[in-house]
């Protein structure tokens, strides 16, 4: 089975052969971000697929924020480009959880861990974030966990 990083490289090669400028530029930037994350810190290391997904999620978030900023500034062409780049990268991320799936997952993790009361927020969030694995926004997860613990 190929790793996510290998899939990105293979797709970059295919995009270059197809002369798809948008995909080529986006995948190059994504691979550069992955490489930067690999060499960050005291020693260079190979990132796992989960770590590569986190880097890609961060890059998608950057694209979404840039698209919003460009749109607010009246630069629709750049906003569309940033949005398209975000869409290219989103294809490499796991499908996000629906609201119902997220609520069920939070309820299950809180029940299994025996978390109760507002003082359990930190450990509960750690357990839920591990189960969510980047398939939902942290803010949304935190709000849901807080609501469940204070109810």
- The answer to whether 43 and 109 have CB atoms below 8 angstroms apart is no
Could you read off the pLDDT of 114-138 as tens digits, one per residue?
A: 877 778 788 888 888 888 877 777 7
Give the chain's domain count. 2
CATH code: domain of residue 9: 1.10.1510.10
pLDDT higher than 50, residue 62: yes
Q: What is the pLDDT of residue 102?
A: 84
Q: Return d(Cα 135, Cα 98) in angstroms, integer.
A: 9
What pLDDT, on the 0 to 100 scale, is given for residue 28? 96
Domain carrying residue 25: 4-90
Indicate whether 27 and 86 sit together in one domain. yes
Last residue of a domain, one of 60, 90, 120: 90
- Burial state string for 75-88 with b = 16 or more CB within 10 A and e = fewer than 16: eeeebebbbebbeb
pLDDT of res. 1: 47
Q: Does one domain contain both 14 and 81?
A: yes
- Rounded to 10 deg, the angle between the 76-90 and 21-39 helix axes is 60
Task: Answer whether residue 4 shows pLDDT above 90.
Answer: no
Rounded to 10°, the helix 121-132/99-113 angle is 130
Task: Please provide the average confidence, as pLDDT, over all residues in the chain.
Answer: 87
């Amino acid at each position: 089975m190929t790793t996510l990083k290998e899939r990105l490289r293979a797709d970059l090669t295919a995009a270059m052969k197809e002369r798809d400028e948008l995909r080529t530029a986006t995948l190059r930037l994504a691979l550069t971000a992955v490489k930067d994350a690999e060499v960050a810190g005291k020693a260079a290391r190979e990132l796992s697929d989960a770590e590569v997904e986190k880097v890609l999620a961060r890059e998608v978030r950057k694209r979404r924020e840039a698209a919003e900023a460009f749109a607010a500034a009246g630069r629709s062409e750049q906003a569309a480009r940033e949005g398209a780049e975000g869409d290219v990268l989103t294809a490499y991320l796991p499908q996000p959880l629906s609201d119902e799936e997220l609520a069920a997952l939070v309820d299950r993790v809180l029940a299994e861990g025996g978390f109760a009361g507002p003082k359990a927020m930190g450990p509960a969030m750690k357990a839920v974030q591990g189960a969510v694995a980047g398939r939902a926004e942290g803010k949304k997860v935190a709000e849901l966990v807080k609501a469940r613990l204070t109810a």
